[in-house]
Amino acid sequence: MTIFKGVGTALITPFQNDKVDFASLEKLVDTQLKSNVAALIVNGTTGEPTTMTHKERTAVAVAVIKQVHKKIPVILGAGSNNTYTAVEYAIEAEELGADGILAVTPYYNKCTQQGIIAHYKAIADATNIPVVMYNVPSRTGVNIAPETALALAGYKKIAAVKEASGNISQFLEIARLLEGKMDLYSGDDSLVYTLLTLGSKGVISVASNIIPQYMVDMVNKYFEGDIKGSRDMQFKIEPLIKALFSEVNPIPVKCAARLMGMIPDDYMRLPLTKCSKEETLATELRALGFL
């Protein structure tokens, strides 16, 4: 079951005066819809859910789901290092009308591969909407091994893996083992083109917050057979992608969104702080004609 094909934007959460800025959120979602992104991912890492209250997370989810109104899939972040909490988030996501959930591997606990399998099975058992497993060992301290992904392929509603290990060899092995059994998405904006060549269904992107049409065009070129055109577009934005990840996500992308006039404030709750690489970001945005 393919949830989406193309660009899914890992949506930022705008704040003003330490409160969620729902007016700016609505404008961001409108821009995404007009750019024909294939899906929106809400309350994922880029949306800063770990520093939001449960009430705020729910309010953001409700607002986006209502605005999107089933035009494209809305996937809600439902990850936790406490399996019971992740299950509660998954149940709530389904109740709110989400089209799927994105569940990161349990962080900090550093569970075994058997623990990862049990964790995702518990989430899948609790909900009837598709589950995207999120592998980002640089943040969580644990890696979904290709054999573990294979063990979960086809289990109930576990539909896909968002692979953000940065390890192309691992993605190649996952693609080899899971071909036809589970979908794969790039979780790295620098590797979108590369992972499309290995069979990914698209990308869950940070960059598409600020350049959604560009990212959509790049991926669509590949799917339409313009392989060189897609590759050239990936090459062209590589300096900007590096700038967007020069500090921990979502610090630079929120700064870029402010520079581009998409949000009035790039405020982030502690322990995240404002970007110290603003000039670098501005330089790259100007070079590409986005600023």
Q: State the catalytic residues.
A: 134, 162
Model pLDDT, residue 138:
87
Domain 6-226: give its CATH code: 3.20.20.70
Return the structure tokens found at 240.
């900007």
Mean pLDDT of the chain: 96
Q: What is the band of 154 on the pLDDT scale with cuts at 50, 70, 90? A: confident
Mean pLDDT of 127-152: 94
Mean pLDDT of 16-39: 98
Return the structure tokens found at 88.
């509660």
Write b or e for each residue in 40-61: b if 16 or more Cβ atoms lie within 10 A of its Cβ, otherwise e. bbbbbbbbbbeebeeebbbebb
Mean pLDDT of 184-202: 96
Model pLDDT, residue 41:
98
Q: What is the band of 180 on the pLDDT scale with cuts at 50, 70, 90? A: confident
Mean pLDDT of 9-15: 98
65-94 pLDDT, tens digit each:
999 999 999 999 999 999 999 999 999 999
For 129, phi then psi, to 5°, come to -105, 155
Q: Where are the domains of the chain?
A: 6-226
Lowest mean pLDDT among 140-144, 228-232, 255-259: 140-144
